[in-house]
Amino acid sequence: MLAKRIIPCLDVKNGRTVKGINFLGLKDVGDPVELGAAYAAQGADELVYLDISATVEGRGTFVSLVEKIASRVNIPFTVGGGISSLDDAARLLDSGADKISVNSAAVRNPDLIDRIAGRYGSQFIVLAIDARNQGNQWIITTHGGSRMTDRELFSWAREGQERGAGEILLTSMDHDGTRSGYPCDLFAQLSEQLSVPLIASGGAGSAQDIARVLTEGKADAALAASIFHYGQMTVGELKEALAASGVCVRM
């Protein structure tokens, strides 16, 4: 059985790690390099850094930050946020990132997935999807969940996979930052339709929540932020709890 991955997520704005609920009410929670190094030391399998800076200056800060992260962190890390071209992806990969994730720009221009996968290979690209429940459908959103689109989750995830995305990172924007648990039925349904790994994001509030999404939700990895940033538990403590509940993780 393949071990399930635990992936701390760090939202970065103008060089600092921040956290809020549904990307609102952001609070500074620390230095992204130091936090990343700490999570790696605690046993994190990978890290994800998402640049949520709105300014050109913030984007420039992120590129230099990636170089610092690469020099300090000894586990794979993915970077995303604002990547809208092959040049953007190249700049971040050349700065030391192991993978890049695309989101809003790929919704606007799906060929971006093909181009990055064609240049670097599917193992270097993660398709991040932010979705909201609208009636009986899960609908894709962009711009941090603030803009609805006309795309439906399952068809877009399958298209992203077909275009070359090596992993799908799904965030339920209805659950993000709430620490109320993941929508496990949604993740299980999507996992059954994909042949690439599925990373679950949005709603982790306890070890039990994460255990459920990795078992009932059939996710290959779980992304979490609040429970780590606010000291609710360390990555090591989480893995011990998961192992005790029968989830296969790397210790």
Respond yes or no: is residue 130 known to be catalytic: yes
Q: Decide if pLDDT at 21 tops 70.
A: no
Going by DSSP bridges, is the β-strand pair 5-13/47-51 parallel, antiparallel, or unpaired?
parallel
Domain extent at residue 35 = 5-244
Residue 28 CA to residue 15 CA, distance in Å, equals 10
250 in any annotated domain: no
Per-residue pLDDT reduced to its tens digit, 160-191: 999 999 999 999 887 776 677 899 999 999 99
Respond yes or no: is residue 94 known to be catalytic: no
Angle at 70 between CA 67 and CA 75, to 5 degrees: 160
50 in any annotated domain: yes
Going by DSSP bridges, is the β-strand pair 24-30/16-21 parallel, antiparallel, or unpaired?
antiparallel
100 in any annotated domain: yes
CATH of the domain at 99: 3.20.20.70
pLDDT, mean of residues 77-97: 94
One-letter identity of residue 101: S
Query: Residues with Cβ < 8 Å from 56, sequence gap 6 or more?
Result: none
Domain count across the chain = 1
143 in any annotated domain: yes
At residue 26, the pLDDT reads 72
Q: Decide if pLDDT at 236 tops 90.
A: yes
Give start and end residues of each alpha helix (H) in the chain: 32-42, 56-72, 86-94, 104-108, 111-120, 153-163, 184-193, 207-215, 226-229, 235-244
* Average of per-residue pLDDT values in the chain: 91
Residue pair 22/176 in contact (Cβ under 8 Å)? The answer is yes
251 in any annotated domain: no
Catalytic residue chosen out of the listed positions 11, 88, 174, 209? 11
Per-residue pLDDT reduced to its tens digit, 124-164: 999 999 999 988 899 999 887 788 999 999 999 999 999 99
What's this model's pTM, rounded to 2 decimal places?
Answer: 0.93
Catalytic residue chosen out of the listed positions 45, 51, 88, 130? 130
